[in-house]
Amino acid sequence: MDYPILSTVIFLPILGALLIFIMKRSSEALIKWTALAISIINFVLSVPLFTNFDKTTAAMQFTEKTQWISAWNINYSLGVDGISVLFVLLSTLLTILCVTVSWNSIKQKTKEFYAALLLIEGSMIGVFCSTDLFLFYIFWEAMLIPMYLLIGIWGGPNRVYAAIKFFLYTLVGSVLMLVGIIVLYLNTGKSFDILQMMATNYPFNLQMILFWAFFAAFAVKVPMFPVHTWLPDAHTEAPTAGSVILAGILIKMGAYGFLRFSMPILPEATRAMAPAMMVLSVIAIIYGAVICLGQTDLKRLIAYSSVSHMGFVTLGIFALNLQGLQGGILQMINHGIVTGGLFLCIGMVYDRTHTRKIVDYGGAASVLPVYAALFIVFTLASIGLPGTNGFVGEFLIILGGFSASKIMGTLSATGIIIGAAYMLWLYQRVFFMETNPKMQGHTDIDLREILTLLPLIVLVFWIGVYPNTFLSIMDVSVQHLVARVNSPGLQNIQPNVAQQIIEVIK
Amino acid sequence: MEQYILIPLLPLAAFAINILFGKSIIKDKAHLLAIAAVLGSFALSVMTFVEVMGGKVTNQDIYSWMVSGSFKASIGFLIDQLTAIMLIVVTSISLLVHIYSVGYMHGDKGYYRFFAYLSLFTFSMLMLVLANNLLQLYFGWEAVGLCSYFLIGFWYEKKSASDAGKKAFIVNRFGDFGFGLGVIMIFLTLGSIHYADIFGNIGTLQGQTITLLGYNVDLITLIALLLFCGAVGKSAQIPLHVWLPDAMEGPTPVSALIHAATMVTAGVFMVARFNPVFSLSPVAMGVVAITGATTSLFAATIALVQNDIKRIIAYSTVSQLGYMFLACGVGAYGAGVFHLFTHAYFKALLFLGAGSVMHAMSGELDIQKMGGLKKYMPVTYWTFLIASLSIAGIPGLAGFFSKDEILWLAYNGGAVGRIVWAMGTLVAALTAFYSFRIIFLAFHGKFRGTHEQEHHLHESPASMTVPLMLLAIGAVSAGWLGISETLGGGNFIGHFFHPVLGHPHVHAGPEEEWMVMGISIACAVGGIFVSWIFYSLKPDIPKKLAAAYKGVHTVLWNKYYVDELYDSIIVRPAMWLSESILMPVTDGTIIEGIVNGVPKMIAGFGERLRKLQSGYVQHYALSMAIGLLILFSLVLMFK
C-alpha cells in the first residue's frame, strides 16, 4: 500500500458528508445513492487492512505521522494493531448496513441524516486509529455531536430527553478524561504519543488517579454498572441506524479505551483495580439479564441485554489473561454483529407495525417467515449457542474469568441461563403463538432488507465455526498487552499527584 | 477419514438444502433428500461398525476450531466401540423415524421444515457421538438441544408447544451451566480438553483438592459432578426432569427419535465416555447411582396414574434413563450403554405406536377414551405389545437382557449397589404394570371414545407400519447381542465394549445370578398380572384404590408438584426481582437518582430554557455550556 490508507478511510466519509451537505435537498435519491456508494467504497478500501495485516507483530501497522501543532508536540499519527483493525472493519461494514436499513424509513431531513451518519463513521474510525492522545480526544468528542443529533432529530417521541441524557453522561466522563490526558501529557515529557506512554512507567499513585479519570469516560461509554441508565433511553429513542451505531461501535469505544489506555499505560493500577472491575462486570451481567426479563419494549430489552453482554466483555478484559482478553475483544465484535443485527431486525419490523411493545406482537413467524428465520439466528448467537459467534466469545471469557477468579467465573456463567430465558421468551412472544391481529397483513422483508442482514448472518457463522481468522489477527497484540499489564512497575510512591492535577486544571 | 466426515455431513447438507429451498421449490418432496442423506449415513455407520469390530480405532482432528494461547479446541472424530454403537443407534432410529414421518406428517404446512430439522438433529447428534474432545461434545450437546427446541415447538401457534420448547431449552441450560464449568475445570487442571489427554492424565489429579467456599473438595469428584450436571439436564434426571414430559407437545416421531432413543441418552453416553474420570471418584459414582435409581423410581410412580399415552411413555423414558445411570453409577457402563441400545428400539417403537394410535384417534391422547383398538389396528397392537413385553423384561426379548445385566451388576456393586438393585427391581415391577395398563386400557376392552372417532378408526399407512415392524424386530432381537454367559450366551456386547468401558468385578456366583434374574422375572410377570386384574378383570379396583388413597393419588397425578415448586421458587421470584425491584427501584430510583441528580437538575433547567429558545443546534450549544459549567465546578471542587 503506497497511499495513506488509514487517512483515506477516515476522511473519505467526512468528505462524503460535506459533499452530501452541498447537495440539493430535493435530490433525495442522489443523496442516498451517494451515501451508499461512499460507505461501500470505504468498506472496500478498509479490506486491505485485514488482508495485508501482518499477524506476526504487535507493533502499529499502516502508520502515518505528521507534525500537527509543533508548539505542544501534537502529531497527526495513525496506526492500527491487531485489536483496533477489527473495529475499523466493523465500523465500515456497519455503516453500509445503516445506510441500507434507513433507505425508506428516514423521510425527514434526509440530507442531514446521511451526512451525520458519514461523519460518525469517519470520526469513529479516527478513534480506533489514533496513536496520538490529542487526536484521539478530538475524534472521541467529534463523534458525540453527530450521534447526539441522530438521536435528537430522527429519534422517537422522547428523543430530546434521551439525547440530552446521552450527551451529559458522556460529556461528564469525557471531561474527566481530558484532565487525565493533560496530566499524562505533562508526565510523559510533554508528549501525546500513546506508544511512548505505553513504554513509560508512571508512579503508582498517579496511575490510580489516572485510572479513575479514564474510567469515568470509558465506564459510561461501555456502559458499566451503575452508569448504564442512559443506554436504554438512548437506544429506545434512537432511529434504527443510531441504535446500530450505538450498539455496534460506540459502546465498544469504552472497552477499547480500557484496552488501549488503561491497561498498557496504567498496568499497575489496572492490576490493582481488576478485582473491582470484575465485580462490577459480573453485577452488570446478572443485573442486566434479570432486568431484561421484565421488559415490555423490544428495543429496551435489547438495550438491557447489551448491558449484560458488555459485562461479559469487561469481565474478559479485566481477567487480564490471554483467553479472557481474546474472548472479550472477540465478544465486542460479536456484540456489534449480533446486537447490531437485532436492532436492524427490530427497525425493519417497526417500519411495518410502528410499535415497539412486545404485547403488540405474536405469531410473526406465520406472517413474516423469512424475517423469523433471520431473527432466530441473531437470537441464538445472542444466547451463545455453539456454532455461532456468541459462543466463542462467551466461552473464552468465562474460561478467562474463571481462571482469574473462580467465584466471578461461576457467577458470570449464570448469565447464560438468564440470557436464554429472556431471549427465547422474547422470541416466543413475538414470533410464536397465535397471530396477533395487529400483525396481520404485513409483508415479509424484501431483498434490500435481506441483503442488509446477510453480511451479519455470514459473520455469525464464520466466527462461530472458524473464529481463528479473527483470533489469530489479534493474537500477538493481545499477548503483548498481557505481557505489558503483568509487567512489574515502579512501585515507588510519589506524593502530590493530586496537587499536580489541580495545577493542570488551573 | 473421508467416509467418516460424510456421516454427519450428509444430513447437514440435506438440512441446508431443505431449509433454503424447501418452502419455494422442494415442498412436499422434502423427505426424499432427508431420507437419502440419513440412509447414506446409516450405510456408512454400518461400515464403520464393521471396521471397529475388526479392531480399528480412529482418533483424528479435522480442523482446529478455536485457538487462544494454550487453549486449543478442534473438530475431530474419535471412533471406537462406544462411538460405533451410538452411530448405529442414531442413524438406524433416525432412518426409521424419517420414513415414518412421511406418513405421519403428510399434509402438514411445515412439512419441509420438519424434515430440515430432523436432518439438523441427526447431524448434531452424530457430531456429539463422534467428538474426540469436550468442546465438540458441548457443541453437539447444545445443537441437539436447539433441534429439540425447534421440534417440540414445531406447531408454534400452540402456546403450550412453544412454552414446552422454551422450557426444555432453559431447563437444559441449568445443567449445561455445570457442564460448561466442568469443561473449564478440566482445561485448567489438565491443560487440554481432548479425550485422549484427559483420560491419559486424569490419574495425576488423584488426591488433589480444591478450596470451594471454604471447603476442601476432591478435584476429580468436583469435575465429575460438574459434568454430571449436564447429563442430569439432558437425560431428564431429578431435579431437571421437568422438561421431558412437556416435550411431548412435539410431533410424535420427534418424541420417538429425540426424546426417547437418542438425544436424551446423550447424558448416559457422556458419563460412559468419561468413565475413566467417574471411576476415580467413589463419591461421584454414588451420586450417579442414587440419582439414577431415585429418578427411576420417582418417574415410574408418576407413570402409574397418568392417562395421557405419550406422557406415560415419557415418564417411562425418564425412568429407564435412570436405570442407565444406575448402571453407570455401579461401574457397569457397558450394561448401561447396552440398555441404552435396546431401549432405543423398544421405546422408539412405543412412541411410534402411540403416534399410530393418535393418527387413528384424530389426535386423542387419553387412554381412558380408547379401548378395543386391537381389532382396528392389528399391526400397531402387536408391535406395541412386543415393545411392552420387551420393556417389562420378559425373557427372550431385548429389554430383558439389558435390564437383567444392570440388576445383576448392581447386585454386585457393594452397599450402594444393593440399595439401587432393590430400587431397580421395584421399578421393574412398576414398569411392567404401567406398560400393560396402556395395553389393556387402549387396545383391549370396549371402545370408550365418541362414535365419530370410532367410525374413523383405521390402521395407519404402510410408511408408518413398516417402521413399526422393523423396530419390533429390534425390540425383540437387540438384546441377543448381550446374552450373558450364565444363560449360555457369548455376551458379545460386553466383550465389544470392554476396551472402552471395562467391566466391573463380579464376586457372586451363577446361583445368585439365577436368583436375581428370577426375582426380576417374577416382578415383570407380577406387574403384568396385576395390571390385567386392574384394567381387564376388575376395572373398578383402580377407582376404589384412588379413592381410598386420595392423598397419594393426588400427589402422583400432580407429578409431586415439582413444576409448581419451581414456578414459585425460581420463575416468580426472578420476575418479581426484575419487575418490582430492579426496574422501578434500583434503576428507576436509586441509580437514576444518584447518577442523574446533577444532570437532571440541569436538564430541568434546560427544559425551561428551551421554552425561550427552540431548535436543535441551540440545544447543543446549551450542552456545551453545561459541560463548561461542570468543568468550572470541578475546578472549584479541587480548590
SS3 assignment for B99-114: HHHHHHCCCCCCHHHH
C-alpha distances in angstroms, B461 versus B99, B374, B386? 11, 16, 20
- Nearest 5°: the CA angle B81, B82, B86 is 115
Q: Cα separation of A5 and B618, whole Å?
A: 36
Mutate to test the interface with A, among B184, B211, B618 (most CBs of A within 10 A): B184
Q: Cα separation of B121 and A467, whole Å?
A: 23
Specify whether the CB–CB gap between B91 and B38 falls below 8 A.
yes
- Is the CB of B162 inside 8 Å of chain A's CB atoms? yes
Grid coordinates representing B541 are 379396583
Given an 8 Å threshold on Cβ–Cβ distance, is A172 in contact with B139? no
User: B115, B150, B116, B143: which is closest to B128 by C-alpha?
Assistant: B143
pTM of the complete model: 0.91
> Which backbone phi and psi does B212 adopt, to 5 degrees?
-130, 110
Question: Per-residue pLDDT tens for A390-433?
Answer: 999 999 999 999 999 889 999 999 999 999 999 999 999 999 99
Question: Per-residue pLDDT tens for A490-504?
Answer: 444 444 555 565 566
Q: Cα separation of A66 and A334, whole Å?
A: 34
Residues 6+ apart with CB under 8 A from B522: none
Q: Which contacts (CB < 8 Å, 24+ apart) does range B361-366 have?
A: B361/B449, B361/B453, B361/B457, B362/B453, B362/B456, B364/B449, B364/B453, B365/B308, B365/B309, B365/B310, B365/B311, B366/B307, B366/B308, B366/B309
Element spanning B205, H or E: none
Contacts of B180 in chain A (CB under 8 A): 395, 398, 413, 416
pLDDT value, residue A491: 47
Grid coordinates representing A97 are 448496513
- The ipTM is 0.91
pLDDT value, residue B603: 58
Following CA atoms A94, A95, A100, A106 in sequence, which dihedral angle do they give, to the nearest 10 degrees? 120
Interface of A with B in 48-67 (CB under 8 A): none
- Is the CB of B111 inside 8 Å of chain A's CB atoms? no
Amino acid letter, A79? G
Contacts of A466 in chain B (CB under 8 A): 63, 65
The pLDDT-based confidence of B612 (bands split at 50, 70, 90) is very low
Q: Cα separation of B135 and A465, whole Å?
A: 12
Grid coordinates representing A220 are 459510561
C-alpha distances in angstroms, B583 versus A229, A231, A243, A284? 11, 14, 21, 14
Q: Cα separation of A286 and B577, whole Å?
A: 12
Mutate to test the interface with B, among A424, A463, A468, A471 (most CBs of B within 10 A): A424
pLDDT by residue, tens only, chain A of 506 residues? 578 889 999 999 999 999 998 888 888 889 999 999 999 999 999 999 999 999 898 888 898 888 888 888 888 999 999 999 999 999 999 999 999 999 988 888 888 899 999 999 999 999 999 999 999 999 998 888 888 888 888 888 888 888 888 888 888 888 888 888 988 888 888 888 888 888 888 888 888 989 999 998 899 888 888 888 889 888 988 999 999 999 999 999 999 999 998 999 999 999 999 999 999 999 999 999 999 998 999 999 999 999 999 999 999 999 999 999 999 999 999 999 999 999 999 999 999 999 989 999 988 998 999 999 999 999 999 999 999 999 999 999 999 999 998 899 999 999 999 999 999 999 999 999 988 888 888 889 999 999 999 999 999 999 999 999 999 999 999 999 998 888 765 444 444 555 565 566 55
- To the nearest whole Å, the CA of B184 is away from the closest chain A CA by 6
Q: Cα separation of B217 and B221, whole Å?
A: 8
Beta-carbon neighbour count of residue B546 at 10 Å?
15
Grid coordinates representing B347 are 421405546
Interface of B with A in 562-621 (CB under 8 A): 574-575, 577-579, 582-583, 586-587, 591-592, 594-596, 599, 602-603, 606, 616, 619-620
Q: What is the DSSP string of B548-611?
A: HTHHHHHHHHTGGGHHHHHIIIIIHHHHHIIIIIIIIIIIIIIIHHHHHHHHHHHHHHHHHHHH
Specify whether the CB–CB gap between B371 and B445 falls below 8 A.
yes
The pLDDT-based confidence of B372 (bands split at 50, 70, 90) is confident
Interface of B with A in 60-79 (CB under 8 A): 63-69, 71
- To the nearest whole Å, the CA of A179 is away from the closest chain B CA by 10
Residues 6+ apart with CB under 8 A from B174: A417, B229, B233, B240
Q: Which of A149, A172, A413 sits opposite B616 (nearest CB)?
A: A149
Beta-carbon neighbour count of residue B508 at 10 Å?
12
Q: HEC profile for B294-319? A: HHHHHHHHHHCCCCEHHHHHHHHHHH
Contacts of A424 in chain B (CB under 8 A): 149, 166, 169-170
